[in-house]
Structure 1
Amino acid sequence: MKKNFNLFKPSKKFGQNFLIDKIVISNIVDNLNPKSGEVLLEIGPGFGSLTFPILKRIDKLYAVEIDKNLSEKLKNFFSPEKLTIFSENIIKFNFLKFYKKKAKRIRIFGNLPYNISVFLMIKLLKFSYLIEDMHFMFQKEVADRIQANPSEKSYGKLSIIIQYFFKVTLLLDISKESFSPIPKVNSSFIRLQPHVCSPYHVKDITMLSYVTNVAFSQRRKIVKHSLSKLFSEKKLCDLGINPLLRAENISISEYCRLTEYLVKKNFLIPK
């Protein structure tokens, strides 16, 4: 890949940092474990550090690449029957239309730029039912937030909302020296699998999002105060929530319990 890398110029506009460490690449492909017959969609193949080794294992791969220069160059290496590249912004990509054409759940993977990673993850929550699994490289800070547990420093609204839909597994921590150009921070590679039997349930995910947003907007306050406009201290106790805890100490199941109370109460989210 070093030979091929000379053909490509990283773009600051798209926040491109290309993975070049062969050992890391091999570990990622092994963890992904692609098989022919599966529908695999790569986000941001770049100069193909994962594309090339994966296509040695399977017959067909789909990819979304916003940089038209990169997508055109990658097309020179493979026939359309082997690699289909959509030259567009992944934020605007129609996952539902793609899924309906394939009639099979999608495996999604890629190295996500920091500037779109959180926004894209929130978008993908809407399509969790059509996803087999996802394997993403994030900046370590974002990965820490996604996989954090209650009472950990990184635990917050993002942890709760993503873990509500997906089981999160850390697979690899990756040094910034594994990329070119070298970014300022390290990265992590994680797996996200939709829950087969979800441990969580709310009737209104928008309400869960609202409750967690209110709680974490004042995360240093105890919930007796941060959630005071939604719950009295007595109601928190009735719902099994210690009013002296902070937002970061409340579990996902407990946030679901708070959410369900508001749903049953027909509480209207302020506009």
Structure 2
Amino acid sequence: MSTFYSKKKFGQNFLKDYKVLMNIINSAELKSSDYVVEIGPGKGFLTKAIVEKVKKVVAIEVDSSLNEILTSKFQSYNNLEIIYGDARNIQIEIFEKYKVLANLPYYAALPIIRRFLLAKNKPSLMVVMLQKEVAQSMVSKPGSSSLLSISTQIYCNPKIISYVSANSFKPKPKVTSALVKLIPYQIPIINIENEEDFFEFLKKSFSTPRKQLKNSIENGLKISSNSALEILAKSNILHTRRAQTLDINEWYLLYKQWCVFREQGDL
């Protein structure tokens, strides 16, 4: 078998730590009847532990040059299917009653997670490896909320399981990682009719998260100071608060008032 070298373009850092592997397996609460989608099997280190515990595994690997390694390693397993493709584009409607386990390349992690959270056929849980700072932002609560935490927690309950040293991977990444467990909600906790418009509003309103909220939405939405104050007053939100202190329901109320003002042309 030819020697395989990791590729920077795919962000390949292969897990090699058995303690971390078992933490992933235990966090996923795997049962013999489970259907698992693994994203980024790499050389199959985690894959082997999964296929020995569950009914069916579909592994999605972006690097087709790993085919020789994976085919050789799993030729005796009939419960594994390998799909070569980018998980940002792969058809996920075919999966039913499944869990997702993933050692995600950092450049593609958030788009991949978002695809599964927004899917009609959501996984029952996801256990994913992320960059430490991204994970911390994702799980942050009002007081230190971020655009990422709000946009994630509308659709799921994320929790950091553990932090993972660079020494757990080969080659070593330049950052510390975090193992995160996400439990998707079958129905988002707020009813957003136009998700694209809502998140554009959120993005603009979070443009200066540490400034007073009046200034954040005034500058982000390009509206007058009086309009910003009125929208906040009708949302029953104090104008001196900061974007990072609002919870999801408060953002939803603020967005609804923004929509009313916009439709009335009062801005």
Identify the TM-score tier after normalising by the shorter chain. 0.7 to 0.9
Residue of 11, 17, 23 corresponding to 1:27: 23
Q: Which moved more, 1:193-202 or 1:175-184?
A: 193-202
Alignment-derived partner of residue 70 in structure 1: 66
Matches within 5 A, 1:114-193: 114-127=106-119, 129-152=121-144, 155-193=145-183
Paired residue total? 257
Matches within 5 A, 1:7-22: 8-22=4-18
Q: Deviations over 1:15-55 (max 9, x none)?
A: 11111111111111111122233221000001112111111
Distance, in Å, in 2 between the alignment partners of 1:118 and 1:136 is 11
Q: Percent identity?
A: 29
1:108 Cα offset (Å): 1.0
User: Secondary structure of the residue that 2:19 maps to in structure 1?
Assistant: helix
Unpaired runs of 5+ residues, structure 1, are none
Alignment-derived partner of residue 79 in structure 2: 82
User: Secondary structure of the residue that 2:154 maps to in structure 1?
Assistant: helix
Residue of 41, 51, 57 corresponding to 1:55: 51
Distance, in Å, in 1 between the alignment partners of 2:62 and 2:231 is 49
Distance, in Å, in 1 between the alignment partners of 2:79 and 2:3 is 21
Unpaired runs of 5+ residues, structure 2, are none
Residue of 98, 101, 106 corresponding to 1:106: 98
Check conservation: 1:157, 1:213, Cα contact below 8 A: yes
Residue of 233, 239, 242 corresponding to 2:238: 242
Check conservation: 1:207, 1:259, Cα contact below 8 A: no
TM-score by length of 1: 0.86
Residue of 70, 79, 89 corresponding to 1:92: 89
Residue type of the alignment partner of 1:166? C
User: Secondary structure of the residue that 1:132 maps to in structure 2?
Assistant: coil
Residue type of the alignment partner of 2:80? L
Check conservation: 2:155, 2:189, Cα contact below 8 A: no
Q: Deviations over 1:94-131 (max 9, x none)?
A: 112x23xxxx2221111111111122223333216432
Check conservation: 2:60, 2:84, Cα contact below 8 A: yes
Distance, in Å, in 2 between the alignment partners of 1:20 and 1:46 is 11
TM-score by length of 2: 0.87
- Name the Cα RMSD after superposition: 2.3
